A = this chain, B = another copy of it.
Amino acid sequence: MPTPPRPLRADAERTVRAILEAAERVLSANPAATMEQIAEAAGVARTTVHRRFATREALLAALCAWAARQFHAAVESVSDSTPPLVALHQATANVLQVKISWGFAMNAAGDDDPETARIHADVLARCDALFQRARAAGVLRPDTDLDWARRVYYALIHEAATADRPGTPATPEARATLVLTTLLNGLGTP
């Protein structure tokens, strides 16, 4: 996370953002991409990347931390008192919005940083709580294995976020509906 004691100047902050966005773009296409390629995509010299992120690991960690915070914000904005099905839809749409732009960073395992790990754990807890509410309210079957449900849910979100076929709905809301109808009703004939 780029929070050195001395606050960054405005242009430097812009540079950091540009580097993170470029890293997401380049690494999602090729996870083994070099610092050089990332720098080029960011429109910046390679040495500048090293100035902001001492090592490659540091860049990866910062990228993951950034995505984790977006992820957290997407989930946090959903009120705990909203009915489960509505809350699920809101959270799904928000997460999809983030995931479309930060797909690589959200999948990359950057839990070596304790702060990022904490955020991930918090999101996980919120997700679990929401699923428990959903099960208690009868949205999910009473005998549902919540761990399996969560895995399936994440997987569906991932598919909905990466699907780019003509037939796929464009807006996050429509995709969220697709995810939830598939999760709850399946694709078979009732």
- What is the total number of residues of chain A having a CB less than 8 Å from a CB of chain B? 33
Q: Please measure, in the bound complex, the distance between the C-alpha atom of A183 and the C-alpha atom of B147, giving whole angstroms.
A: 16
For the complex formed, measure the closest distance between the CB of A10 and the CB atoms of chain B, giving whole angstroms: 36
Q: Is A35 in the interface zone, CB < 8 Å from B? A: no
Q: Are B147 and A167 in contact (CB under 8 A)?
A: yes
Residues from chain B with a CB closer than 8 A to the CB of A185 are 185-186, 188
Residues from chain B with a CB closer than 8 A to the CB of A57 are none
Residues from chain B with a CB closer than 8 A to the CB of A190 are 190
For the complex formed, measure the closest distance between the CB of A169 and the CB atoms of chain B, giving whole angstroms: 10
Q: Is A141 in the interface zone, CB < 8 Å from B? A: yes
Q: Please measure, in the bound complex, the distance between the C-alpha atom of A1 and the C-alpha atom of B144, giving whole angstroms.
A: 44
For the complex formed, measure the closest distance between the CB of A136 and the CB atoms of chain B, giving whole angstroms: 12
Chain B residue at minimum C-beta to C-beta distance from A85 = B188
Q: Please measure, in the bound complex, the distance between the C-alpha atom of A155 and the C-alpha atom of B168, giving whole angstroms.
A: 17
Q: Mark A19-36, 1 if CB is under 8 A from B, else 0.
A: 000000000000110000
Q: Are B178 and A183 in contact (CB under 8 A)?
A: no
Q: Is A170 in the interface zone, CB < 8 Å from B? A: no
Partner of A139, one of B140, B152, B167, B188: B188
Q: Is A83 in the interface zone, CB < 8 Å from B? A: no
| Segment among A66-74, A94-102, A110-118, A158-166 that sits at the interface with chain B | A158-166
Residues of A within 8 A of B (CB): 31-32, 138-142, 144-145, 147-149, 151-152, 155-156, 158-159, 163, 165, 167-168, 178, 181-190
